[in-house]
Amino acid sequence: MAIRADAASSAVARPHDTDPEMGAAALKTDPAKARQRPLPEPPPLTGGHGPARVIAMCNQKGGVGKTTSTINLGAALVEYGRKVLLIDLDPQGALSVGLGVPAQQLERTVYNALMERNTTLADVRVPTDIPGLDLVPSNIDLSAAEVQLVSEVAREQTLLRALSSVRNDYDYILIDCQPSLGLLTVNALTAAQGVIIPLECEFFSLRGVALLVDTIDKVKERLNQTLEISGILATMYDSRTVHCREVFSRVVEAFGDTVFQTVITRTVRFPETTVAGQPITTWAPTSSGASAYRDLAKEVLVL
Ligand code: ADP
Ligand code: MG
């Protein structure tokens, strides 16, 4: 789906010229619920695993649910029989920690696979506790890559080249981006076919989306013609607040069907899972959070 940056700009501009009373009056109902339709059961996998579809989880704002969504979408896709590789492309290493992998103590991480000619992603990946879900961990070493990559030949394609060693082993490769639009994120966008934009349902989140969509457009134009926005995922959704409902409505107005019908509700179960080092699908398998990420997986599987 082609999205232009001006769609995002209009979503940002609208609330300024809105009558403050209008939101409360017009949005008595839950706009997310109103969009929900039954989701088809995912088709079974046919013909063996791979080659993987690569999806970047991207938003330059921090704390919007990128890492949480990477872990839990990955775990949900595995429940539907897919093999999934998660790549931590954030030097903070939260994806690794969230899966119980002590990345700070690891000798080799994604950094080595990106910077060393004879280290591959296959060399640095590790299995997680969930069969079918593997991880390429990251730690603070990766912060040097942003600077070191600058002097590389074809620096934006470094991750794309590295993916060749693992692409055929998986059905999906999800890349957890860091909160910036720097060279590592451009590498993720250059390597991906799809981008999922997790978006916190809060007014200030909208501002960054215009810039992100603009960056995605540029990467598509100059580096990666196959890149598409897979979808915008509303996270930390709270249907009880008018503000959240209004922001969600604006996003749907601007982006239409590109917004996933699945929304991720705000709940303390998610911070708990980080401490447990597990996806919510195994930590609290019957929770609404787990079922939301299963619904997201169903949407992703038919894209
Ligand atoms: P990002 O990767 O974009 O920085 P995270 O996924 O790390 O964001 O989420 C930031 C914080 O918010 C974490 O503490 C996480 O546990 C919490 N969190 C994520 N999703 C939700 C949610 N739906 N409800 C409540 N807290 C959440
Ligand atoms: Mg993160």
pLDDT in tens, 140-151: 999 999 999 999
Contact indicator for 232, 35 with CB cutoff of 8 Å: no
Q: What pLDDT, on the 0 to 100 scale, is given for residue 28? A: 76
Q: What pLDDT, on the 0 to 100 scale, is given for residue 204? A: 84
Distance 268 CA to ligand 1 centre (A): 9
Residue of 57, 61, 68, 240 to mutate, ligand 1, most atoms within 8 A of C-beta? 68
Question: Regarding the domain with residue range 5-35+48-301, which homologous superfamily does it belong to in the CATH classification?
Answer: P-loop containing nucleotide triphosphate hydrolases (3.40.50.300)
Q: What pLDDT, on the 0 to 100 scale, is given for residue 297? A: 98
Give the number of whichever ligand sits closest to the CA of residue 91: 2
Q: How far apart are CA 217 and CA 277, in angstroms?
A: 35
**Report field, pTM of the whole predicted structure over 0.75:** yes
Distance, C-alpha 191 to centroid of its chain? 14
229: left (phi over 0), alpha (psi -120 to 50) or beta: beta
Distance 96 CA to ligand 1 centre (A): 14
Where is pLDDT greater, at 242 or 24?
242
Residue of 270, 274, 278, 293 to mutate, ligand 1, most atoms within 8 A of C-beta? 270
Contact indicator for 161, 121 with CB cutoff of 8 Å: no
Residue 69 carries which side chain, given as an amino acid letter? S
Q: Which residues, in sequence order, are CB contacts of 118 under 8 Å at separation 6+?
A: none
Residue 303 carries which side chain, given as an amino acid letter? L
